[in-house]
Structure formats: structure tokens, C-alpha cells
């Protein structure tokens, strides 16, 4: 009956022991930071994240090109920054990440966070501080930035992928449409490299980093980064002037873009200068172009460019360049008079010859009255006479026409420039504003950017956050409780107290587990040796069963991996298109293996909680054996009837020390002791009374 009860209690102990071990493991996972950090270390997750995940993410980003919003044109799409050597660029960027945020730093801060937050959550402490040591990381930025710029040849990439396209768009709008000066694709790239020299670009980039870094580490109260482009526009002006060496470009700028449109605004489409002769506006403007000396044209062309550059860099408030045409008008009058005479001569040549004396007389009268003759008498002589008579009249008409319709000066104004670039002068104004003021970014701009809106509360919050960053970014219990109401704060503290109390009473769980084991030892063992053997044996067997069961549970994961079709991480087609290498890494099963190693680590901790019980049970069992052996060597157990009062009453059990018996009975005594040690404690011990009585003193 007792043995059956012992077996039943052993089953109860097994169940309670498994529950206790499992609960203890989950509690350890939630309350012991070493469990989580151990799982991460066993799976080598830090190395895997840096060597595989981050590396593949960076590679995919570099291969796809990095989008950069230049801010030079609000309507333009982001510019794609491409790298010729993807492997080298990826390695450089990964190196930058490892320099600024090394894996050792991440590991240390995760462990520091767990060691601070977990004791706080369990009520062991009321405060904690995790210092992220951001200042040390920020101090590394200037050196790391210079290295990455060199390794990536970043200046060359920025010029080729960002500045050259931007300059091409700017050049087409300003010089192409506005000035009529166009550049080939090769010329645009060459000019962009002249304007945005690598030394100039790197100087501003590193200067900005050196200006901002002290602010973020708390060594400066403010910063202001300004990049000015006025000196770059001067270089552009020289490039445009050099382009005027080409005659077509020069005359196209001065006349087609500037003078001709202004003259056409004042000159009639066709003007009669007498005798049926007309001068068109095209003939007038063409005459101005032909008779203009090249030095004068060059002077006007350079003057237009200088005026435009001065306007764009902010030296003048309004675009306007005036060209003096007074001298050109005098020369144009002479040229147009010659043109009119040529037309008059052609007209006279086309007049038929006189055939009668009456026609001859009429022709002479026409010339005398300064009119075209009705006929020509005398051939060339009459034509020359008519020219000498009529030309002065026509010259006066030409002079009057030019003086009246062609102004002494024309002004190439902002309106004309806007008309020539298609009316999109707002873009020019925006470019002018950016160039004149430069690109400026200060601590106030950063605050407004972080605030998201212009409200006083948002600005104050953003400024406070920046000051926190400058003073040193840390995470404390205040970050958890600062937004809690007093009621919520009290509830939170109560929960922490309950958790702490529960953990402090965790030992009761093991007391509950020990109860069946103690009962087994009590009901089945009459002596301490037997009790220790039973308790130890049950503990060892149950602990080994639980150990084996936990070990067997781990094999189900391998079975699922082998036979379940959708086991592991699944990656969408869209994700594969955007991040092919990262998707391939995820689908390779390596990430699943890392999580399995984490699970194996957790399972190992779970399983190993049974080991102390195996050892303790084995020690107890061995102690029982040793105690049994020791008891057997010290004396012989006698069984008897019931106990009686008086000297003649035999005692139920009498143990005679070994040294009291005869020496030749030592072997028999030892044999009996060994036999009795394995006897059922519920059965009476049978001894040879007749033999022992003779040896009893």
C-alpha cells in the first residue's frame, strides 16, 4: 500500500516539478537580463546583423542608387546618386556604420539597458540610468565623414549625379532661353566642374560638419552654416563671356535676344520712304546687325552678361541693361538710304522707255516735280538724272523714319528676359534668392524642422530635445513615467510592487514541489538511509524524465523545418525587387537558424534547471547507501515481540555492537546486517534468538 502511494506521489512530484521548472524559466526570461543577452550571444546575433543584414541592406541601397533631394528646385524629382563600384561603396558605408555605431557599443548598450530596466520593472530599484554616450559617437563624425568622402569619391559622385544635371537645367533656362547661349552636353559637364570645384565643394561640406558637431556635443550654444554661390556665378559669367568668341553666339545674344526684339516693338512692319519704296522691319534690324562693329557687339554682349550675373547674385535689385543706339542709328540711316536708293534704281530700271514726244515731255516734267517718271527717255542718263533728283527726297524720308521709329537707346529689362524664358520668371526669382542669400542652415532652422509647426509649444519641445541631446542622451525611469497621470503612476508602482513581491516568494514554488518528495520519504522509509534513497531516487528519475522531455521538444522545430512547406521567413515579390540581396539572405534560412539558436539557448537554460535536481537526488541516494552501509557495520538489529515493562520484558529491537560479539561470528553479523539493510521496513526482523542469547552479556 505504501509503495503504491509512493508511486502516486512520485507522479504528482513529476508534474509539479515540470511546472515549476517551466514557470521558473519563463520568470527568469522576464526578470534576468542574462537570459536574453545569453540568447543573443549564443546565436551570435550582433555579428550576423552587422555582417549579413546591414551589409546586404547597404548593398541593395547602393545598387539601386541613393535618392537625394537637393532642394535646388522644389518641383524637380529627387536626384539619384549612383556609384560605379557597388562593392567598394557598400564596404565604405558599412565601415562608416561600424565606426560610428560599432557592434560592441550596441551590445554594451543593450545589456546596460536590460540591466537597468529589468530591476526597475521588478521593483528591485526605483531608478535607473542608461547613458547612450552619444557625444562620443558624434565626436567621431568629422573624421569618419572625411574618410567616407575619400573612400566613396563622394565629391565626384555629387558633381556627376547632382550638380551636373542641376547645372544643365539651370543653364538651359538662364543662358539658353534668356541669352540664346547654348552648351553641348560635354560643355555642360566641363562647366559644372569649373564652377563647382572639388576643393570648393569639400571645403563647404567639411566646414558644415565642423560647425555643427560642437553644437550636438554641447560645446557650442548655436551654429550657422552658410553656403554662398555668388563667387560661383562670377565663374559662370566668365564661361558665358568666353562663349562669345563664337560670332554666331555673340550676334545672336546682342541682336536676336536683345536689340532686334526691342527695335521690332517700335518699327512698323513696313514703312514707305517715297516713290513706292518701302523698308521692312526685318531690313531695318538686319541693317543694325550688319553695320555694328564687332568690338561694339562684344562690349554689349559682355555688358548683358555682367548685368544678368549682378542681378542673380543680388548686386542689383532689378534686371536692366541699356544699349546706346545713337551712333548705330547714324550708320544705319546711311545704310538704309543706300538700300532705298538701290530699290529706287531697280524701280526706275523697270519703267518702260518713252515712245512719243508727249511721253518724253511728261517724263521730264515728272522728274522736275520730284516724282517717278512715267517713262524713261534716254536710257541710263535719264535714270541717273532721276536718282540725283529723287534720292535726296527719299534720304530725308529714311532719316525721318529711323529717327522717329528707332529709339536712341534700348533697355533689356526684366520683362524682356522673362518673356524670352517662357514667362517662368518665378523660378528665376527663386534661384536668385537662393544664390544671393546663399543656403543657410542654423540651429533655429533645425528647431523649426524638428517642431513640425510654428506653435510656441512645439518649438519649445524641439529646443528642449536638442538641449537634452547636447547635454548627453540618456534613458531613465523618468522617460517612462513623465507622461503618466498620478493615478496611472500609482497603478504602475503597485504593479511593480506586486511583481517584486511575487518574485520574492518564488521559493514557495519549490517548497510546493518538495512536499510530495518529503511525504514519499516519510511513508516509505523507516530509517534515514531508506528515506534518502527513496527521495533521491525519485528526484533523479523525475528530473531525468523532464530533462529528456525538454530535449525531445526541441526536435519538433527541426521536424517543422524539414516537412512544413511554409516554414521560415516569407518575402514578398515587391521586397525582393527593392532589396534583392537582403531578400536572398532572409530566404537562405540563416536568419531562421539564428532564431533557432536563440531558442536552443533558451531551451538549454530551461533544460539545465533540472541538472541541480539530478545532482542533489544522486547525492541523496548515495548518502542513503553510505548511511546504510555505515549502520550495518556498527551493529546487528534484533527483532522481537511486543514491548513489556520490567526487566524480563524483551525489547522490540536490540542492536548489539559488533565488538561485543565473538570474533568468529563477525562474518555472520556482517551478512545479517547487509541482508537487513534491504529488508522491507514494514516486515519484522527475524533473528536467531537462541544463538544471540548466548552472546548477550
pLDDT digits (tens, 9 = 90+) for 620-664: 999 988 888 887 544 434 333 444 444 344 434 434 344 333 434
pLDDT of the residue at 675: 39
Q: What span, in angstroms and rounded, lies between the C-alpha atoms of 621 and 633?
A: 19
Which residue has cell 519641445? Answer: 461
275 inside domain: yes
Predicted TM-score of the model (pTM)? 0.63
Q: Which of 407, 429, 451 is the last residue of a domain?
A: 429
Do 512 and 600 reside in the same domain of the chain? yes
Average pLDDT over residues 558-564: 52
Candidates 225, 224, 220, 112; CA nearest to 466 is 220
Residue 579: CB atoms within 10 Å: 20
Average pLDDT over residues 211-225: 85
Beta-carbon contacts of residue 342 (< 8 Å; ≥ 6 apart)? none
User: Considering Cα of 368, then 370, then 374, then 376, what sign does the dihedral take?
Assistant: positive
For the record, the C-alpha cell of 551 comes out as 530535449
284 inside domain: yes
Which DSSP state fits 178?
I
- Contact between 581 and 590 under an 8 Å Cβ cutoff? The reply is no
pLDDT of the residue at 672: 41
- Contact between 639 and 687 under an 8 Å Cβ cutoff? The reply is yes
Do 500 and 569 reside in the same domain of the chain? yes
Helices (H), ranges, 472-567: 478-481, 486-504, 507-524, 528-563
685 inside domain: yes
Do 312 and 414 reside in the same domain of the chain? yes
Q: Which domain holds residue 669?
A: 631-643+650-693
Average pLDDT of the residues of the chain: 80
3-state class of 370 per DSSP? Answer: coil
Q: Which range among 429-443, 509-523, 670-684 has the greatest average pLDDT?
A: 509-523
- Contact between 256 and 180 under an 8 Å Cβ cutoff? The reply is yes
Beta-carbon contacts of residue 277 (< 8 Å; ≥ 6 apart)? 340, 343, 344, 347, 394
Do 560 and 424 reside in the same domain of the chain? no
Between 542 and 670, where is the model more confident?
A: 542
Which DSSP state fits 161?
I
133 inside domain: no
Between 415 and 355, where is the model more confident?
A: 355
Do 563 and 602 reside in the same domain of the chain? yes
Tell me the CA distances in angstroms from 648 to 169, 631, 639, 643, one per residue in order.
Answer: 128, 28, 16, 10
Average pLDDT over residues 201-223: 86
Do 523 and 402 reside in the same domain of the chain? no
Do 242 and 301 reside in the same domain of the chain? yes
For the record, the C-alpha cell of 691 comes out as 544463538
CA 20 from chain centre, in angstroms, equals: 46
Residue 488 has pLDDT above 70, yes or no: yes
Between 570 and 8, where is the model more confident?
A: 8
345 inside domain: no
Do 559 and 686 reside in the same domain of the chain? no
pLDDT of the residue at 608: 92
pLDDT of the residue at 619: 94
How many domains in the chain? Answer: 3
Q: What span, in angstroms and rounded, lies between the C-alpha atoms of 110 and 352?
A: 110
Amino acid at each position: 500500500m505504501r509503495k503504491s502511494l509512493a508511486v502516486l506521489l512520485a507522479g504528482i512530484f513529476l508534474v509539479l516539478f515540470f511546472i515549476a521548472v517551466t514557470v521558473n524559466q519563463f520568470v527568469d526570461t522576464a526578470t534576468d537580463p542574462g537570459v536574453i543577452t545569453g540568447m543573443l550571444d549564443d546565436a551570435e546575433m550582433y555579428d550576423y546583423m552587422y555582417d549579413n543584414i546591414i551589409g546586404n541592406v547597404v548593398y541593395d541601397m547602393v545598387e539601386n542608387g541613393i535618392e537625394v533631394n537637393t532642394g535646388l528646385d522644389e518641383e524637380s524629382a529627387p536626384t539619384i546618386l549612383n556609384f560605379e563600384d557597388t562593392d567598394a561603396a557598400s564596404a565604405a558605408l558599412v565601415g562608416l556604420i561600424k565606426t560610428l555605431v560599432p557592434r560592441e557599443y550596441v551590445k554594451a548598450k543593450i545589456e546596460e539597458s536590460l540591466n537597468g530596466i529589468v530591476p526597475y520593472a521588478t521593483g528591485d530599484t526605483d531608478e535607473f540610468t542608461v547613458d547612450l554616450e552619444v557625444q562620443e559617437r558624434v565626436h567621431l563624425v568629422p573624421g569618419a565623414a572625411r574618410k567616407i568622402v575619400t573612400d566613396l569619391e563622394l565629391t565626384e559622385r555629387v558633381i556627376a549625379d547632382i550638380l551636373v544635371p542641376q547645372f544643365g537645367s539651370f543653364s538651359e533656362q538662364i543662358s539658353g532661353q534668356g541669352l540664346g547661349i547654348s552648351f553641348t552636353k560635354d560643355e555642360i559637364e566641363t562647366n559644372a566642374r569649373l564652377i563647382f570645384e572639388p576643393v570648393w565643394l569639400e571645403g563647404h561640406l567639411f566646414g558644415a560638419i565642423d560647425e555643427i558637431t560642437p553644437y550636438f556635443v554641447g560645446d557650442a550654444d548655436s551654429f550657422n552654416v552658410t553656403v554662398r554661390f555668388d563667387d560661383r556665378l562670377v565663374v559662370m559669367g566668365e564661361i558665358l563671356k568666353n562663349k562669345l568668341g563664337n560670332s554666331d553666339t555673340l550676334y545672336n545674344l546682342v541682336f536676336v535676344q536683345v536689340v532686334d526684339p526691342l527695335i521690332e516693338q517700335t518699327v512698323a512692319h513696313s514703312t514707305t520712304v517715297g516713290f513706292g519704296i518701302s523698308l521692312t522691319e526685318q531690313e531695318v534690324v538686319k541693317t543694325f546687325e550688319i553695320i555694328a562693329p564687332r568690338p561694339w557687339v562684344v562690349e554689349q554682349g559682355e555688358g548683358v552678361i555682367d548685368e544678368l550675373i549682378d542681378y542673380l547674385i543680388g548686386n542689383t535689385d532689378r534686371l536692366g541693361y541699356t544699349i546706346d543706339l545713337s551712333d548705330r542709328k547714324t550708320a544705319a540711316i546711311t545704310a538704309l538710304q543706300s538700300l532705298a536708293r538701290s530699290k529706287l534704281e531697280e524701280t526706275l530700271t523697270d519703267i518702260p522707255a518713252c515712245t512719243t514726244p508727249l511721253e518724253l515731255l511728261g517724263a521730264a516734267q515728272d522728274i522736275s516735280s520730284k516724282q517717278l517718271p512715267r517713262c524713261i527717255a534716254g536710257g541710263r542718263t535719264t535714270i541717273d538724272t532721276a536718282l540725283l533728283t529723287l534720292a535726296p527726297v527719299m534720304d530725308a524720308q529714311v532719316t525721318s523714319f529711323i529717327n522717329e521709329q528707332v529709339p536712341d537707346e534700348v533697355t533689356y529689362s526684366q520683362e524682356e528676359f522673362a518673356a524670352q524664358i517662357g514667362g517662368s520668371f518665378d523660378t528665376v526669382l527663386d534661384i536668385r534668392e537662393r544664390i544671393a542669400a546663399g543656403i543657410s542652415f542654423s540651429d533655429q532652422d533645425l528647431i523649426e524642422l524638428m517642431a513640425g509647426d510654428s506653435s510656441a509649444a512645439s518649438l519649445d519641445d524641439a529646443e528642449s530635445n536638442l538641449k537634452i541631446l547636447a547635454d548627453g542622451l540618456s534613458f531613465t525611469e523618468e522617460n517612462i513615467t513623465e507622461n503618466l497621470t498620478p493615478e496611472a503612476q500609482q497603478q504602475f508602482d503597485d504593479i511593480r510592487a506586486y511583481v517584486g513581491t511575487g518574485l520574492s516568494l518564488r521559493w514557495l514554488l519549490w517548497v510546493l514541489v518538495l512536499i510530495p518528495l518529503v511525504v514519499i520519504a516519510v511513508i516509505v522509509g523507516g530509517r534515514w538511509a531508506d528515506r534518502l534513497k527513496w527521495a533521491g531516487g525519485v528526484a533523479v528519475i523525475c528530473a531525468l524524465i523532464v530533462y529528456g522531455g525538454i530535449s525531445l521538444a526541441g526536435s519538433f522545430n527541426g521536424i517543422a523545418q524539414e516537412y512544413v512547406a511554409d516554414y521560415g521567413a516569407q518575402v514578398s515579390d515587391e521586397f525582393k525587387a527593392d532589396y534583392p540581396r537582403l531578400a536572398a539572405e532572409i530566404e537562405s534560412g540563416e536568419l531562421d537558424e539564428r532564431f533557432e539558436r536563440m531558442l536552443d539557448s533558451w531551451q538549454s537554460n530551461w533544460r539545465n534547471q533540472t541538472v541541480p535536481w539530478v545532482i542533489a537526488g544522486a547525492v541523496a541516494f548515495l548518502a542513503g547507501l553510505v548511511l546504510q552501509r555505515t549502520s550495518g557495520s556498527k551493529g546487528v538489529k534484533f527483532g522481537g515481540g511486543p514491548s513489556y515493562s520490567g526487566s524480563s520484558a524483551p525489547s522490540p529491537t536490540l542492536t548489539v555492537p559488533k565488538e561485543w560479539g565473538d570474533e568468529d561470528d563477525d562474518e555472520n553479523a556482517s551478512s545479517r546486517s547487509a541482508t537487513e539493510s534491504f529488508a522491507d521496513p514494514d516486515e519484522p526482523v527475524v533473528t536467531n534468538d537462541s544463538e544471540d542469547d548466548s552472546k548477550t552479556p
